[in-house]
Structure 1
């Protein structure tokens, strides 16, 4: 017998710890829940880095779980919630660690993914599962949780909090002239293989400078891999104005930097989804991950997509026959993206968004 879902939940729990791009894709679901039940309390258990992105999200109690603290941190969360019971807990993190964490949270009903989408045996830890939704984008998979609860108004709204101090931080790096942001690297995890080449980025920087008069700001974290990529790119275009902000911004500062950009270019990584959430024109570079599942949602028609080619070449299959979400873990896959691919899509994106070009240098709330 299925566990009943609440008709008017008073306290909704959300368990989604990571990653930056995924929590960005989850925010519209939170907004949909708020529209449906404005009086409901929403508590979101989130990762440490992700908290830095979401801090200040209105109407949401954010609670940090730092996975590096292991079982000790898990027990701390359980103690923090020992006197709290959720009407419904939305278990949106497909990881065994998160499933174990969920068991220590009191709730009337725990909702998770359907068996086809669940990973790490998540469906064994939930009372109710989503209806099947084959070949869904990540954002739509999150929104399926709201749909299961009866939410019909699924309009997209992010309204991410970006404080004025973050805009000041961004302006100190960029001034007030328009710019393009390139975030060249994805998270430097083992066998990630999502990065395009320094030579390719350098040629794009030269192109936007010559054709559009746009200078480039490079963004990213402070890892050795990211810093090295930035240095390689700068050496390849010594005569073009580039601001290297790699490792030089806070997370909120990065949001402000992306918000004020004319265009953002990046591989499948947090910044493409952050830029998408802010309404900034976004060009995603995809070959090792499927953009139909994970492209910047509002800019899917502009994505550079060599994923089908990578699947054919390195997996000897077609994109239609591999499991949804299959990654191509081959070091040469991103080399299938050509400079012509990127320039063609970039020029098209610039033309399609010409009407917003005059509005990208200042945050809308400023006097």
Structure 2
């Protein structure tokens, strides 16, 4: 590991920010939704400095989603490799000195990884937004931005460097192989994609009910003649949820692709879908990046902070009600970004609300054709 101690990083004198950077490092390992929200920052940096070299240190799964992103060199870190994996990255980049390190991952793991990277200046979040002592590992902090959406928090790094045009753009790469994979799942029919489950982390509680999803699927089938493709990972919980939903639906209404696609294949499925329905999870942000009409289901996380950015007006938002019901406070009394960690919070979402948003989106998309 490079001789750059925790104390030296935290206490060295501030360095000026580069005026015309030639090589920038983006440090953001996870998660799928977050890296989708970060891509517009990369695009803003590229617009400001068309020749800038960008190296993005990213997680393994996230790289499989983002691979092919134009103008970006990826360095992949597999968190299962621990310190050994970090050492490999340090060795690979030992002769590289970045003009700026954009420390966008608020975790001890990422901060330790950052210690072995050489950079003229290390930029991190302001103290109000920094978590896991991130401000001890950076030399320059962002200007405060209270109550920011995740995408806007990432864009603050570009703003801090002097970027003027902050228009969100994505341009995710979808290879032909992924599009063929998607067609094998969906055939030639139109469909809506539903990803029923969020990441099964401890006390996540972001999943809606099988009954609610089934009601939406039946409406799409009977009213619009649209089948629903169900997507997700291959975990036991996700497969069981898919089976419960399918058992409640008419024959032919559901195509079960849970655990059956690559991430690029899922991206292609989302791109071709008439609309996407999902809780706060990677697929809503993937859909947002592709500008596919999206209905996000939010009760345990604040959509003002984490909704699909271009489809915020179509979020089914029960977060304020969940805060009042389960935290016994008003939304104005809690810390920005507070999650409602209660297993019943998502039950505040009603099928009629989801259907109303979907009907509006499907009508708009039909009128645009």
Report if aligned partners of 2:217, 2:253 keep a CA contact under 8 Å in 1: no
Q: Which of 345, 361, 369 is the equivalent residue of 1:333?
A: 345
Partners of 2:240 and 2:271 in 1: CA distance: 25
Give the structure-2-normalised TM-score: 0.95
Aligned match of 2:206: 194
| Secondary structure of 1:243 counterpart | strand
Aligned match of 2:124: 112
Displacement of 1:2: 3.3
Aligned match of 1:362: none
Report if aligned partners of 2:218, 2:250 keep a CA contact under 8 Å in 1: no
Displacement of 1:239: 3.0
Partners of 1:109 and 1:145 in 2: CA distance: 13
Report if aligned partners of 1:206, 1:240 keep a CA contact under 8 Å in 2: no
Q: Which of 205, 208, 218 is the equivalent residue of 1:206?
A: 218
| Secondary structure of 1:353 counterpart | helix
Partners of 2:132 and 2:72 in 1: CA distance: 28
* 1:348 paired to 2:339: no
Report if aligned partners of 2:66, 2:172 keep a CA contact under 8 Å in 1: yes
Partners of 1:335 and 1:347 in 2: CA distance: 21
| Secondary structure of 1:33 counterpart | helix
Displacement of 1:342: 1.1
Aligned match of 2:296: 284
Residue by residue over 1:43-62, the C-alpha shift from the partner in whole angstroms, topping out at 9 and shown as x without a partner, is 00000000000111111000
Aligned match of 2:243: 231
* 1:150 paired to 2:174: no
Aligned match of 2:74: 62
Report if aligned partners of 2:218, 2:253 keep a CA contact under 8 Å in 1: no
Structure 1: runs of 5+ lacking an equivalent? 359-367
* 1:174 paired to 2:191: no
Displacement of 1:240: 4.2
Residue by residue over 1:169-216, the C-alpha shift from the partner in whole angstroms, topping out at 9 and shown as x without a partner, is 000111121100000000111111000000000000001111111111
Residue by residue over 1:32-73, the C-alpha shift from the partner in whole angstroms, topping out at 9 and shown as x without a partner, is 000111111100000000000011111100010111111111
Aligned match of 2:27: 15
* 1:266 paired to 2:278: yes
Report if aligned partners of 2:22, 2:99 keep a CA contact under 8 Å in 1: yes
Displacement of 1:21: 0.2
Q: Which of 148, 160, 177 is the equivalent residue of 2:172?
A: 160
Residue by residue over 1:236-279, the C-alpha shift from the partner in whole angstroms, topping out at 9 and shown as x without a partner, is 11434211000000110000000000000000000000010001
* 1:48 paired to 2:60: yes
Give the structure-1-normalised TM-score: 0.96
Structure 2: runs of 5+ lacking an equivalent? 1-12
Partners of 1:148 and 1:172 in 2: CA distance: 45
Aligned match of 1:100: 112
Aligned match of 1:245: 257
Q: What RMSD over aligned residues (CA atoms) do the two structures have, in Å? A: 0.9
- Which runs of 4 or more aligned residues in structure 1 lie more than 6 Å from their structure 2 counterparts after TM superposition? none
Aligned match of 2:5: none
Partners of 1:177 and 1:88 in 2: CA distance: 48
